[in-house]
Amino acid sequence: MLFGALVFGYGLLLVPSSVLGGVWIAAIGLSLALSGVFATERVGKRFARSAAARRKFSLAFAVLAVVLLVAFAAINGASFESAAIERSG
């Protein structure tokens, strides 16, 4: 949960230099933070969720964070490679 909050904050810090990249990283952090939040028993009691439902929510947000991270790496890797090709050509 704390790591997700740190990643979210880092994404917000990146917004002035790259809006899309900063928001994307903030979304990854938010997904990680929500994954941690839904894993806690306190949230389960607050929203009347069973342990199985909390695990599903937590896993769903963790998978979303991984998907966003892989997509971010793939898109940035492709744009970095195309920039390198354009410069050398």
Per-residue pLDDT tens over the stretch 3-33? 888 988 888 888 888 888 889 999 999 999 9
Spell 55-75 as b/e; 16+ CB within 10 A means b: eebbeebbebbeebbeebeee
The conformation of residue 87, written as its DSSP 8-state character, comes to: H
Residue 83 has pLDDT above 80, yes or no: no
Per-residue pLDDT tens over the stretch 19-68? 888 899 999 999 999 999 888 888 878 888 888 888 999 999 999 999 99
Q: Which amino acid is residue 50, in one-letter code?
A: S
Strand ranges (E), the chain:
none
pLDDT at residue 87, rounded to an integer: 56
Residue labelled with tokens 């790496």: 73
